[in-house]
Copies of this chain bind each other. A is one copy, B any other.
Amino acid sequence: MPAKYKYSAAFQGEKGAFSHAAALKLLGPRTLLVPCGSFRDVFNSLRSDAATHAVIPIENTLHGSIHENYDFLLEYDFPILGETSVRISHHLIAMPGVPFSRVRRAYSHPVAINQCRKFFENHRDIDAVPFYDTAGSVKMLREKNPPEAAAIASQVAAEIYGGKIIRRNIEDYRQNFTRFFLLSKQIRPVKTAAGNWKTSLVFSTANVPGALFRAMACFALRDLNLTKIESRPLRGRPWEYLFYVDLLGNREDQAVQRALAHLGEIAPLVKILGSYRPTL
């Protein structure tokens, strides 16, 4: 890694993706970005030391939890070191010299296009053209410079590929946030962390009545507050579930340790994913 970088961060997508913005927020500007094609590639980059850190999306306010990444957290066993939230803002971006009035096509990922439906309803002379990736569509503009074209992507993507934002915040819903986890092989404090300690864990319950209620009692009886609980059915094993829980507190706190020991008496699987402080 060149000396000007302190960290390297693997993430899924092209440079300029929202995960890229999350990586900079979590690790600061002296971070070498390592774009990966898939979430599995991100985890493999950390395993093979191709990156010192990994940044993965874990849930979105519109689209829910990304179970795929919870599966990888269980499979790869890298601790969560930090978390942050990034507002998903879509901007219309063109190459310098292309004014809004000349744009007839807007390239982007279909999910982003779908989040900008009102913009396209109000600008019927602009066609939406599906593309692999939001940031990749800006990169393509720079490389191929197609006429009358723009892209829909993040501010970071505009900056990286020399695009100009010609219409800002064209998304339908402003309440669109994605929460990211920061992972690393080694547990070192994250300098940008500012919020209260949280601990994330996964546990399973046996197929007995009231199993979840008893599991919840482990936390409630120690006055531990949960900030997330989510059940996930185990396919092919009816009435057995995985639960994702985030609680306020560090895994070293006595109340947390007692709650986890108690939970271990009840739950066939208890797996701590990490204790971390959010970067606000």
Contact = CB atoms under 8 A, between A and B. Distances in A.
The residue in A62, A131, A231 that gathers the most chain B C-beta atoms within 10 A of its C-beta is A231
B229 A229 contact: yes
A210 B233 contact: no
A191 interface: no
Contacts of A67: 61-64
A62 B64 CA distance: 10
Contact of A64 (B59, B117, B225): B59
Given A216-B212, A217-B213, A63 B64 contact: yes
Given A38-B117, A67-B62, A231 B226 contact: yes
Number of copies: 2
Contacts of A68: 62-63
B235 A227 contact: no
A231 B59 CA distance: 12
Interface residues of A, number: 41
Contact of A230 (B111, B131, B210, B229): B229
B235 A223 contact: no
Contacts of A110: 109-111, 130, 132-133
A89 B18 CA distance: 29
Nearest to A238: B227
A225 B130 CA distance: 44
A177 interface: yes
Nearest to A225: B209
Interface string A97-133: 0000000000001110010010000000000001111
Contacts of A37: 117
Nearest to A39: B114
Given A62-B67, A110-B133, 6 more contacts: A37-B117, A63-B64, A63-B68, A109-B110, A229-B229, A230-B231
Contacts of A219: 213
Contact of A130 (B130, B212, B230): B130
26 contacts: A37-B117, A38-B114, A62-B66, A62-B67, A62-B68, A63-B63, A64-B66, A109-B110, A110-B111, A110-B130, A110-B133, A111-B111, A130-B130, A175-B235, A210-B220, A210-B223, A213-B216, A213-B220, A225-B239, A226-B231, A227-B239, A228-B231, A228-B233, A229-B231, A230-B230, A230-B231
Nearest to A235: B175
A227 to B, nearest CB: 7
Nearest to A219: B213
A219 B223 CA distance: 20
Contacts of A220: 210, 213
